[in-house]
Amino acid sequence: MTTITQSSVTPLPANKVEAVDPVYRQIRDLVYKVSGIYKAEDKLYLLADGCARRMKQLGARSPRDYWDQLTAQPSRDGELRQLLNEITIGETCLFRSQPQLDALRKVILPEIVAEKVKQVTKRLRIWSAGCSTGEESYTLAMNMLEEKERLLQGWTVEIIATDLNDRSVETAKAGIYGDYAVRNTTDYFKRKYFVPIDEKKLQVRPEVKKLITFSRLNLQDDSKMLFMKGMDLIFCCNVLIYFDGVSKSKVINHFFSNLNFGGYFFLGTSESLMKLNEQFHLVHFPGTIAYWKPSLHSGKL
């Protein structure tokens, strides 16, 4: 029998995650349980970075020490919120998730257009819930303008963008963005939909703004939520992560009612509803997931 010696065997590249303290996997699982955000193994270092910043702030001596602070009352809820802020930082930019946009333009819009073909009024309503400073809303608006030259010719597209924070809404309305916010935006889109206002800043053109209505809205205000009807698409990225289980469930139920049959609900790229709502169908598109309210004649409700 041939014996293979250790020296003749080259190991696979060392797994970079092995260097991460196992406590971070516990923290990852806690973050998922509380918020629905999942930091995959290859992104654990981002979680570790976020924790390191918090540990410095708190003077925690080790990840284990930080875990204790993260799980001990009364500091628990506040600290979890701080950590969520840290790990979602910098996620806001235009064209943040290309797989979501591809799914929207290549699969979902053709499906919705086919569903509505018999309706007299061709109208598409999109809600950016928790729009922050407007990056997502403008990204959607620019993509819809592109589609108005193709699939959505003759359609009316409305984008309703809401946020709890007045200051964010005002910033969003201005539509002025620096280099970092447009780092994923191609030259094509920059030229077509922005005007440079100085060397470092671009402003969204009026025809893009025209598609969007920005306003303040509290997602936990039940009476206001009841009025947000007739949506075809709802985007709510990294907002529900801050809600406790009961409030989250309530908001998700509202979203389900707010959507038309056949409509879609998108969360952030590593965010999920876990099992908080059994009515939505989790559906996959290449590189992204979404939640679908089945159409009436699909027989899948």
Partner 1 sequence: MTASLTADIRERVQQIETMPAIPAVFLPLLKLLSSSGQDATVDEVVRLVSYDNTVAAQCLRVAASPLFGMPQPPKSIKAAVITLGLRRVETILLTCCMGQAFPAAKWVLDPAVFWKHSLGCALVCRKFSEKLAAPDGEKAYMAGLLHDIGFMVNSLVFPQEFTKAMDLACREEIPLGEAEHASMGFTHCETGRALAEKWKLADDVIDVISHHHVVEQSHNAQPLVALVHLSDLLCRMRGLGYGYYERHKVDLVSDPAWAILLQQHRELDGVDLARFTFELDEAVDEIQALVSTVFGSTPARS
Binding site for partner 1 (CB under 8 A): 1-6, 8-13, 15, 17-18, 32, 36, 38, 40-43, 102-103, 106-108, 111, 270, 272-275, 281-287, 289, 292, 300
Cis peptide before 206 (omega within 30 of 0): no
Between 36 and 134, name the residue whose CB sits nearer to partner 1. Answer: 36
Between 219 and 273, name the residue whose CB sits nearer to partner 1. Answer: 273
User: Residues 6 or more apart from 260 whose CB is under 8 A from it?
Assistant: 230, 231, 232, 293
CB of 251 to partner 1, least distance (A): 17
Report in angstroms the alpha-carbon separations of 178 from 95, 182, 183.
14, 7, 9
CB of 296 to partner 1, least distance (A): 15
d(C-alpha 301, C-alpha 288), whole Å: 22
CB of 17 to partner 1, least distance (A): 8
Reduced to 3 states (helix: H, G, I; strand: E, B; else coil), residue 10 is: coil
CB of 293 to partner 1, least distance (A): 12
Report in angstroms the alpha-carbon separations of 156 from 69, 141, 144, 255, 263.
51, 12, 10, 22, 17
Between 95 and 177, name the residue whose CB sits nearer to partner 1. Answer: 95
CB of 184 to partner 1, least distance (A): 17
